[in-house]
């Protein structure tokens, strides 16, 4: 099946990857939707990682989110991220669309990257618009007694990720939609393809006459429409596909 996927990659005019939490699990980042393993276990994320909590109680928001920042601190891209960066270098992959906010695709060297839920790589000031990189945000968090990274203007910085209660970034969504429509092959990796917008994007590829390949442990609602489905470990499966190219 890896050879078959390699054939599809070679034959497609445009290949776009769509990645979810499963591609970052081998980097030690748990899929928060898996029961018992999640970062969110101790709190209700819907309650705390909400734009209203950020606005009303930035200290409470950052107590929760600060843990998340710390837990992602030393995480590194894995072999699956590396394969996608290598495919792009070989001009076999046009872009990566991801739900992940961990920044690992960028760290692996992917250049055409659409982060539909944003990323923790920066935080912005809702008042003056100043943008601060992650290291700076961590330094400001550590400097304040309340754990809030404060902007120079006196407002609390907000991570550049989509919080509950917020709309998805319009430009990123438009870009992802255009990529999905134009793809000859959409390579879905590590996503259960159940959450908007990633549930819709593969359907756009199919409507446009493109094909789907799925590399994910566990079932997805689109398995029956995929030309290829690989069920194994994402790092091993993608390394195998790269070898077959
Ligand atoms: Zn500011």
User: Is the pLDDT reported for residue 71 higher than 80?
Assistant: no
Burial 145-167 (b: 16+ CB within 10 A, else e): eebbbbbeeebbbbbbbbbeebe
pLDDT in the model for residue 36 = 43
Mean pLDDT of the chain: 90
Whole-number Å distance between alpha carbons of 233 and 106:
21
Predicted confidence (pLDDT) per residue in 166-204, tens digit: 888 889 999 999 999 999 999 999 999 988 778 899 999
Contacts of 134 (CB under 8 A, 6+ apart): 69, 103, 120, 121, 122, 123
Q: Is the pTM of this model over 0.85?
A: yes
Q: How many A from CA of 129 to the centre of ligand 1?
A: 6
Percent of the chain with pLDDT over 70: 93
Q: How many A from CA of 133 to the centre of ligand 1?
A: 14
pLDDT in the model for residue 130 = 97
User: Locate tokens 């091993």: which residue?
Assistant: 236
Answer for the pair 183, 206: CB distance below 8 angstroms, yes or no.
Answer: no
Q: How many A from CA of 151 to the centre of ligand 1?
A: 5
pLDDT in the model for residue 165 = 86
The mean pLDDT of 118-133, rounded to a whole number, is 94
Whole-number Å distance between alpha carbons of 194 and 215:
15
50, β-bridge pairs: 164
> pLDDT-derived band of residue 216, with 50, 70 and 90 as boundaries?
very high
Predicted confidence (pLDDT) per residue in 47-67, tens digit: 678 899 999 999 989 988 877
Helix (H, G, I), strand (E, B) or coil at 16: strand
Q: How many A from CA of 32 to the centre of ligand 1?
A: 31
Q: How many A from CA of 131 to the centre of ligand 1?
A: 9
Strand ranges, E, within 73-207: 95-98, 113-115, 118-124, 131-133, 158-161, 185-189
Report every protein residue that has its C-beta within 5 angstroms of ion ligand 1: 125, 127-128, 130, 151, 153, 155
Q: How many A from CA of 45 to the centre of ligand 1?
A: 26
User: Is the pLDDT reported for residue 132 higher than 70?
Assistant: yes
The mean pLDDT of 216-232, rounded to a whole number, is 95
> pLDDT-derived band of residue 38, with 50, 70 and 90 as boundaries?
very low
Active-site residue, from 117, 132, 175, 224: 117
Q: Which helix (H) or strand (E) covers residue 68, if one does?
A: helix 58-71
Look up 117 and say whether it is catalytic: yes
């Amino acid at each position: 099946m890896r050879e078959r996927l390699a054939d599809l990659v070679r034959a497609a005019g445009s290949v776009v990857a769509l990645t979810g939490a499963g591609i970052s699990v081998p980097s030690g980042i748990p899929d928060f939707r898996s029961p018992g393993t999640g970062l969110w276990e101790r709190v209700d994320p819907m309650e705390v990682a909400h734009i209203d909590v950020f606005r009303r109680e930035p200290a409470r928001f950052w107590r929760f989110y600060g843990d998340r920042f710390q837990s992602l601190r030393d995480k590194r891209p894995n072999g699956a991220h590396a394969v996608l960066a290598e495919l792009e270098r070989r001009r076999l992959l046009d872009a990566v669309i991801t739900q992940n906010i961990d920044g690992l695709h960028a760290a692996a060297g992917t250049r055409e990257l659409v982060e539909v839920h944003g990323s923790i790589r920066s935080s912005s000031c809702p008042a003056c618009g100043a943008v601060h990189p992650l290291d700076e945000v961590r330094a400001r968090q550590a400097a304040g007694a309340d754990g809030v990274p404060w902007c120079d203007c006196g407002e609390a910085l907000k991570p550049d990720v989509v919080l509950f209660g917020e709309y998805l970034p319009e430009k990123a969504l438009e870009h992802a939609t255009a990529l999905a429509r134009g793809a000859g092959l959409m390579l879905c990796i590590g996503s259960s393809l159940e959450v908007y917008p990633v549930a819709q994007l593969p359907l756009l590829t199919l409507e446009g006459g493109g094909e789907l390949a799925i590399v994910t442990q566990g079932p997805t609602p689109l398995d029956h429409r995929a030309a290829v489905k690989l069920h194994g470990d994402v790092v091993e499966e993608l390394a195998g596909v790269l070898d077959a190219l």
